[in-house]
Amino acid sequence: MGATARSRNPAVTLQTWVLVVSVALMAVKLLAWHITGSNTILGDALESVVNIVAGAFALYSLVLTAKPRDREHPYGHGKVEFISAGLEGGLVIMAGVLIIWRSAHSMAHAQGPSELGAGIGLTALTGSVNLVMGLLLKKRAREIHSITMEASGTHLLSDAWSTAAMVVGLAIIAITDILWLDAVFAIVFALIIIHSGAQVLRRAVAGIMDEADLDLAARVIAILQEHRKPQWVDVHNFRMIQYGPVLHIDCHVTLPWYYSLEQAHEEIAFMERLVNERCQREVELFIHMDPCLPSSCAICALEVCPQRKAPHGRTIDWHLGTVLQNAKHSEGDAEMNAPV
């Protein structure tokens, strides 16, 4: 087993426990529904079924992501995390639709819950457990930059908060004895989880389509700007995609044209070490080295340059407005590209 797989074992273990606990919680919720006949509790139980299916696939995706790269998967197996998150988002939406259908049916047939005391107690217990598991998953997701665990944690936290709201609703029904409120609360609960599922699905699709994470790109660019060397004349055509926890960055870096291959390699290797250390995650950089041109002299801050053709005029700051362009810069570009 490679180093990457070993480092992700704690995540796999945590996801395994989450799956086991989710099965137990589903049994508790089904018991609460059997006792009360509440559509609101049934909705919560249906979401637990989603938790189990999505949790199983999330566990599989974490195991697969931990596998080392191979000939067929030169960028690793991290993309499966987006598929896992997409599946979870879709299942959450499906559960919400089923809850709405069941609630509308109950309203049409004037059905209501009973024995709400026991149901409220059991439901509150499951919500508390989901809260703890969701917080643990979100914490771990931030540590290993896993969209799968983040999606699972977000789902469990939304489940916990909606369960809290649901308990309040059930208590109101128990106090007022207005039984049709059960269906109303269930529909509101369903709309909340549909919204949550849509957000998870949206991010998964964005990852599969390699949509740029501009906030993350801006942080990486800021690191390069902060530690910029005078011989790093220009950065452009900056692109970034994510495969699981690993970031892959492509960009062009303009260096003095007279640098030897060894000198140029040293500069690029330094940039790669810098980004990896400052980002505190694995970043793979594919940097194309461009030689400077006479028009580059005006934006080059290198003080001692035996080949300078023009005096240094101004330095173009690196930010999203400048480095995403697929062209070398000149002095005139500095005024046209304000930070974004």
Residue given tokens 């049409």 in the structure block: 108
State whether 198 and 95 are in the same domain: yes
Q: Residue 115: is it exposed, middle or buried by C-beta count within 10 angstroms (0-12/13-18/19+)?
A: middle
State whether 139 and 231 are in the same domain: no
Domain boundary among 185, 208, 231: 208
Average of per-residue pLDDT across 144-172? 76
State whether 186 and 311 are in the same domain: no
Does the pLDDT at position 72 exceed 90?
Answer: no
State whether 261 and 237 are in the same domain: yes
Total residue length of the chain: 340
Domain boundary among 160, 188, 208: 208
State whether 87 and 132 are in the same domain: yes
Domain boundary among 208, 234, 254: 208
The chain-wide mean pLDDT, for the chain, equals 80
CB-based contacts of 52, cutoff 8 Å, min separation 6: 19, 22, 23, 26
* DSSP assignments along 164-212, one per residue: HHHHHHHHHHHHH--TTHHHHHHHHHHHHHHHHHHHHHHHHHHHHTT--
State whether 192 and 302 are in the same domain: no
State whether 171 and 316 are in the same domain: no
Cα first-last separation, the chain: 43
Average of per-residue pLDDT across 191-218? 82
pLDDT at 263: 93
CATH of the domain at 159: 1.20.1510.10
pLDDT tens-digit map of 258-291: 999 999 999 999 998 998 888 877 788 888 989 9
State whether 187 and 254 are in the same domain: no
Which has the closest alpha carbon to 234: 306, 311, 304, 333? 333
Query: Which of the given ranges, 41-45, 46-50, 248-252, has the highest pLDDT on average?
Result: 248-252
Residue 224 has which token pair? 């390069």
pLDDT at 4: 43
Residue given tokens 């549909």 in the structure block: 194
pLDDT tens-digit map of 286-333: 889 899 988 889 899 888 898 898 888 888 899 988 898 877 776 555
Please say whether the beta carbons of 218 and 243 come within 8 A.
no
pLDDT at 35: 82
State whether 255 and 316 are in the same domain: yes
How large a percentage of the chain has pLDDT more than 90? 13
pLDDT band per the 50, 70, 90 thresholds, residue 6: very low
- More confident call, 337 vs 34: 34
State whether 203 and 257 are in the same domain: no
State whether 254 and 280 are in the same domain: yes
d(CA 239, CA 248): 8
CATH of the domain at 276: 3.30.70.1350
Domain extent, residue 318, equals 214-336
Does the pLDDT at position 7 exceed 50?
Answer: no
State whether 148 and 269 are in the same domain: no
| Total tally of structural domains belonging to the chain | 2
